[in-house]
Amino acid sequence: MSESSQQKVSRNRNTWLIPFACLLAGGALTGISTNVAKYAGDIGLTPLGFLFWSIAGAAIILLMVALIRKECPSFNARSLEYYFVAALVSVAAANLLLFSAIPHVGASFVALILSLPPLLTYLGALMLRMERFNTVRALGVVAALIGAGVMAVHKFSAPDTSVFWILIALCGPVLLAIGNIYRTLRWPDNASISALAPGMLVAAAILLGLFSMMSDFSIAVSLENGLSTSLIAIQSCVFAGQFLLLFLLQKTGGPVLLSLLGAVGAVFGVPIAIFLQGEHPPEGLLLGASSIAIGVVLVTWGGVKMTVFKKEPR
């Protein structure tokens, strides 16, 4: 291989350092978010109220970032469609289901099932020809799925399990997978990450507010409790970083790598739930976490190989 070809291969490999770093950082924030939501429920904050104000706070943070970067969200028909559909599937509905289930199934279980979207996203991407089949990536997705499946089976077999809330929680990953595909397919032309992230979160806050008005669920939160306000502020910052990294990862790594955010979130979120929140370790944790970690490595490595060999001259 010539020196020029070697430089191209090296450059293509280096382009995967950015999405891999986004995957690790975004996954860490996902794991933290799940545990903050668990603690919020423990001190009496309702899932809808906590989610609404946290999303609203994150939207304000990202709008300020967009203003500083002079990349404000656009409000044409295409962008508005993108904001509201992505907000409904990826933020409002998915997170409301997951946050509502956490008090009943635990933060560790919710963190674990967030590793399920890769298989659904990968299958959807293959069916829509957004991704060509790659054996290494397919094995990685299967490994991550097996890891989550092992622990989910143990959860179903536990004597105090609420099947209803487990099923509600499992709807979250399905919506997240649909959102991964939608956001990739409908990314508005020439739209920046700094503009799309706050636009989606503003739309999510509007949808959650409308849901509150049309139902018996309230978004009211007592401002007299300093701990509640502090938790909302923390979750707002976590959400802001999480969704900014989500769009950056989607742009640089594609929908399949993006879908592994939940798997990485499980690796971070489960130990936090066990050691800081006092939850019992899920059955099959060692095997499940190991399989998830192997899956992340294989999917990332497969993506590197696809990029390199596609670009490498024959």
pLDDT in tens, 299-309: 767 765 665 44
Comparing 218 with 11, the larger pLDDT belongs to 218
User: For a pLDDT cut of 70, what percent of the chain falls above it?
Assistant: 85
Comparing 217 with 15, the larger pLDDT belongs to 217
What is the structure's pLDDT at 48?
A: 92
Dihedral sign computed on CA atoms, order 186, 248, 27, 73: negative
Alpha carbon distance 276, 270 (integer Å): 10
Comparing 266 with 310, the larger pLDDT belongs to 266
What is the structure's pLDDT at 311?
A: 45
CB 139 within 8 A of CB 298: yes
**How confident is the model over 139-159, as a mean pLDDT?**
75
pLDDT band at 253 (very low <50, low <70, confident <90, very high): confident
Asked whether the predicted pLDDT for residue 6 surpasses 70, the reply is no
What is the structure's pLDDT at 251?
A: 81
pTM of the model: 0.79
What is the structure's pLDDT at 307?
A: 53
Asked whether the predicted pLDDT for residue 256 surpasses 90, the reply is no
What is the structure's pLDDT at 313?
A: 41
Comparing 136 with 83, the larger pLDDT belongs to 83
Mean pLDDT of the chain: 82
What is the structure's pLDDT at 312?
A: 44
What is the structure's pLDDT at 282?
A: 65
